[in-house]
């Protein structure tokens, strides 16, 4: 919990419990707006799976993504930790949105970015994958001539998976 949130909630308790709910909603709305704006502007997000004990994994990554209809999508090789985590039923993850360079060199600076806890699932249907890949192509125009065919062919062959992250 952030210091700002603790202060707001502490003030709400001083005013009476009835004011806590509107303050929490206002805080959540502001956080949601910041996250949505970041998702719409940024080319990268940072992510980590959440282990079964509730702790963040040591595995982090900065990845390309698409933000389509309120969902976050990542196309990944099927052998990556994020794909394997979902396949093992570890569907909770945390994302931070912004560009802070490679995560190993970022010294956790990305953790100050707008963030969300998310629930992951695999998107297997080609008709649901196609609009996401189109959105990625629009977003990453300069690199899509190289990566677009690899993503599409990889999804067809099973070498890649499309992961949907729903904000929780």
Band (34; pLDDT cuts 50, 70, 90): confident
Q: Both tokens of residue 102? A: 């490679």
pLDDT of residue 14: 52
Q: Express each pLDDT in 95-140 by its tens digit.
A: 999 888 777 787 888 889 999 999 999 999 999 999 999 999 999 9
d(CA 60, CA 146): 24
Q: In three state form, how does the secondary structure of the chain look?
A: CCHHHHHHHHHHHHHCHHHHHHHHHHHHHHHHHHHHHHHHHCCCEEEEEECCCCCECCCCEEECCEEECCEEEEEEECCCHHHHHHHCCCCEEEEEECCCCCCCCCCCHHHHCCEEEEEEEEECCHHHHHHHHHHHHHHCHHHHHHHHHHHHHHHHHCCEEEEEEEEC
Query: Cβ neighbours of residue 128 under 8 Å, at least 6 residues apart?
Result: none
Average pLDDT of the chain is: 85
**Which pLDDT value is given to residue 6?**
52
Of the two residues 108 and 52, the one the predictor is more confident about is 52
Give the model's pLDDT for residue 115.
93
Residue percentage of the chain with pLDDT more than 90: 61
**Residue range 63-90: mean pLDDT, rounded:** 94
Count of alpha carbons within 13 Å of 56, Cβ hemisphere only?
A: 15
Looking from the CA of 156 toward its CB, the CA atoms found within 13 Å total 8
The average pLDDT across 53-64 equals: 88
């Amino acid at each position: 919990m952030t210091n700002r949130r603790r202060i707001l909630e502490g003030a709400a308790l001083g005013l009476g419990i009835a004011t806590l709910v509107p303050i929490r909603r206002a805080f959540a709305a502001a956080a949601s707006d910041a996250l949505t704006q970041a998702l719409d502007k940024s080319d990268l997000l940072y992510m980590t799976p959440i282990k079964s004990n509730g702790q963040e994994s040591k595995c982090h990554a900065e990845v390309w993504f698409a933000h389509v209809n309120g969902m976050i999508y990542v196309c990944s090789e099927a052998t990556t930790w994020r794909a394997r985590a979902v396949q093992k039923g570890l569907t909770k993850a945390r994302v931070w949105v912004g560009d802070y360079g490679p995560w190993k060199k970022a010294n956790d600076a990305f953790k100050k970015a707008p963030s969300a806890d998310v629930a992951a699932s695999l998107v297997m249907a080609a008709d649901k994958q196609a609009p996401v890949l189109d959105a990625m192509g629009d977003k990453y125009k300069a690199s899509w001539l190289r990566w677009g065919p690899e993503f599409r062919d990889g999804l067809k062959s099973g070498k890649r998976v499309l992961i949907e992250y729903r904000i929780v």
